Structure 1
Amino acid sequence: MASDTTSPPPAIAPATSGSWFLLPRPVWTGLGLVSLVLQLVIYGRWLADGGYRLAPTRSPDDDFPIITQLAITAFYSVIIIAGLVVYLRRMRREGRMNLELAMCLGTFLSLWIEPLVNIRATVMQYNAHGIGVISSWAPYVPGWSGQPARYEPNLPLILVSAWVGGAIAGMTGCSLLIRLRRRHQLSTARFIPLFVGTCILFTLLADPLFYALGFFRWDSGITGFTLFPGTWHQFPVYETICFSTLMLSYLAFYYWYRTKGTDFFDPSPTAPRPLRRVIPVLAVIGVTNAIMLFYISILGTFGQFGTISPDHLPEFWVVPSPP
């Protein structure tokens, strides 16, 4: 006589150590939720006060930064579109959001932190001569002591396209390095210098370019540690250190997930059903916000020791004069 020996499916076990990235996933989820609440408050104050309207500026005749802004925005837009097509197809195939899409979203939702580098003094400033220039939300952050509201320019087209496009390019590069390691069976001792060196090389080649193209300028060069000191395109070396740290942190998280931490983005088995797939996305938002906050904190700290500002600004450089 046949008997029914089919056992019930095993219960979903709680997330294992693969859900830890330095801290337990619930901590990252909480950080992600807090960052979203802070953004809502800050953006709400900014919009309600009309703080996005930049104070009047002069109208220069030089189109140099307009042309370069269009070129860079178009370049990163192509990367974003290509990346999103791949990620969305994968999401449709798998039936849920993938980590890459969550990291793009997390990068976008961490950009509210970027202008806080000037929270104490002007370290870096956007050129008000550009496309879609607005006044920053940063003056509405508690503790702000930089330029007043409506006098802190921001270029959201460059900000969003460069950061999100850069995130996609970084994840693509990291995936290629992972394949390279597997194909050539690189040891950890050989892979780590390759990984770190690639991040630093990219920073050295790409980062100064953004300032030479007229989008931003540094107002806080440190004597002996600044390239082209006193010029409008001066570049403090500490930015290379800080941005390399950001890239390494960002890609280290992605590499860890791809190789060891796949549980991190699994739906939460103990949460209410509507939140099960939201929680891992919040955790990724928490990670990206923490990395951005760390980067801006060390960048702003270095900037407090800067004493070199540009001696002369070209015709295409425009900023509102403080009241």
Structure 2
Amino acid sequence: MDGTSAPTTPAVGRPDSDPTLTVSIWRRPLTYWAGFGLACLLLQIVVYTRWIAGGGAHAHPARDYAIPRTMAITTHVGQGAAGLLFLLLGALVWRECHAKGHITLKAAVFTGFCFSFWSNPYVSQFHYAAANNRFDLNVETWGPYLPGWRGDTPAVESFLMEVAYPVMLLWLVIALTIARLLTDRRPHWGRGRVLAATTLAMLVCEPLLTHSYQRLGGFAYPRALPGHLTFFEGQWYQLPLTSTLAVVGFFIVPPLAMVLYTRTGHEVHIFRGGELLPPRLHPWGRLSAGIGLMNACTMGFQVTMALASLVSHPIDLPSWLDRPTL
């Protein structure tokens, strides 16, 4: 279950210059998603160019924090594990694309994740709401170069924080596997029931996956929700319920729903209309659509977490996770 079928062949006898065909292309979902993806890529280029020109592409000085030896070791383990998982997932989608002869949904999602972490500073738009591991490989934040960003500086962006985005393809792979098992073992279940059951299963799995990543030094949530809605509240590895809901709601449910509600032999929503493109543009259009989808999902996640920070309260963090000082 990957939700994609082989690209269909454009209708015979309709030249590329046909104005009706041109109108049809602009009205297709792939065009919208790919256009949004390309706009996000262009904005990234501008942000990173200004950030580099402003001298931000270097690690923040490490003089004002200390980290326990065991945590330093687990951070190195986390870096290696995350890097290896990233490469394995990349190999998985490459092999899948090669076998099917086209860009699959998993490949588009993975690529989209790789080009979506640029907006991560927006999580801390109002408060310091996402803590990077300062012992991890890091650079000065590019937040000040994002449109409308008003967060506090100095701040850092770390390898384990940013690589967590493409690594979350694993979350989707697990969800698709659960959905496939339910479909095979409960063939009488409707698509909505399978989607609901898979979502509930991921609401259980997601905290286990994220918490494991946190404990390896991946990152921390510096703010706790009121009403005991935070797992391990008050600990540096606490996990607010909004994180689980936002990850499942924005990163898992949309692509999962597209797969479940795609009829056999048809393309998933974001790829519809790709058959109208010239063959040489098929892979680029599908990858761009994936970038557009995951940027939209990432922004939804970040808005949710930023708003949640407004009703949360801060906890004490160890210095290696706290925001840098001047």
Q: TM-score range by the shorter chain?
A: 0.7 to 0.9
Superposed, 1:200-239 pairs within 5 Å as: 200-224=203-227, 225-239=229-243
Change (3 A) 1:291 1:29: same
Give CA deviations for 1:200-225 in whole Å, capped at 9, x if unaligned. 01123223344444443323323213
The one-letter amino acid of 1:201's match is: V
Under a length normalisation based on structure 1, what TM-score does the superposition of the two structures give?
0.80
What does residue 31 of structure 2 align with? Answer: 26
Give 3-state SS (helix, strand or coil) of 2:298's partner.
Answer: helix
Over the aligned positions, Cα root-mean-square deviation in angstroms equals 3.2
What does residue 3 of structure 2 align with? Answer: none
Give CA deviations for 1:226-281 in whole Å, capped at 9, x if unaligned. 34444433332222222221222343344445857516436735445653432222
| 2:165 is aligned with 1:159 | no
Give CA deviations for 1:45-90 in whole Å, capped at 9, x if unaligned. 1111111324423252523333223333433444433333343234
* Structure 2 gap ranges (5+): 1-10, 15-19
> Is the contact between residue 104 and residue 168 of structure 1 (CA under 8 Å) also seen in structure 2?
no
- TM-superposed CA distance for 1:108, in Å, is 0.6
Say which is worse superposed, 46-55 or 89-98, in terms of deviation.
89-98
Give 3-state SS (helix, strand or coil) of 1:277's partner.
Answer: helix
Change (3 A) 1:134 1:255: farther
Give 3-state SS (helix, strand or coil) of 2:223's partner.
Answer: coil
Under a length normalisation based on structure 2, what TM-score does the superposition of the two structures give?
0.79
Superposed, 1:23-62 pairs within 5 Å as: 24-58=29-63, 60=66, 62=68
* Distance (Å, rounded) in 2 between the aligned partners of 1:261 and 1:298: 33
Change (3 A) 1:190 1:316: same
Change (3 A) 1:232 1:43: same
Say which is worse superposed, 199-208 or 171-180, in terms of deviation.
171-180
Give 3-state SS (helix, strand or coil) of 1:134's partner.
Answer: strand
What does residue 4 of structure 1 align with? Answer: none
> Is the contact between residue 29 and residue 271 of structure 2 (CA under 8 Å) also seen in structure 1?
no
The one-letter amino acid of 2:302's match is: I
The one-letter amino acid of 2:172's match is: G
What does residue 278 of structure 1 align with? Answer: 284
| 2:112 is aligned with 1:110 | no
What does residue 244 of structure 1 align with? Answer: 248
What does residue 297 of structure 2 align with? Answer: 291
The one-letter amino acid of 1:48's match is: A
> Is the contact between residue 75 and residue 135 of structure 2 (CA under 8 Å) also seen in structure 1?
no
Give CA deviations for 1:7-48 in whole Å, capped at 9, x if unaligned. xx8357979x9x99xx83322122111111110110111111
Superposed, 1:90-101 pairs within 5 Å as: 90-101=96-107
* Distance (Å, rounded) in 1 between the aligned partners of 2:235 and 2:271: 46
What does residue 262 of structure 1 align with? Answer: 267
> Is the contact between residue 106 and residue 288 of structure 1 (CA under 8 Å) also seen in structure 2?
yes
Change (3 A) 1:213 1:96: closer
- TM-superposed CA distance for 1:172, in Å, is 4.8
Instruction: Report the count of equivalent residues.
Output: 304
* Paired-residue identity, %: 23
> Is the contact between residue 30 and residue 271 of structure 2 (CA under 8 Å) also seen in structure 1?
no
> Is the contact between residue 39 and residue 112 of structure 1 (CA under 8 Å) also seen in structure 2?
yes
- TM-superposed CA distance for 1:186, in Å, is 4.1
Change (3 A) 1:269 1:54: same
- TM-superposed CA distance for 1:134, in Å, is 1.4
The one-letter amino acid of 1:174's match is: L
> Is the contact between residue 82 and residue 160 of structure 2 (CA under 8 Å) also seen in structure 1?
no
Change (3 A) 1:304 1:175: same
- TM-superposed CA distance for 1:147, in Å, is 1.9
* Structure 1 gap ranges (5+): 1-8
What does residue 306 of structure 2 align with? Answer: 300
Change (3 A) 1:79 1:259: farther
| 2:200 is aligned with 1:197 | yes
Among candidates 80, 93, 109, match of residue 87 of structure 1: 93
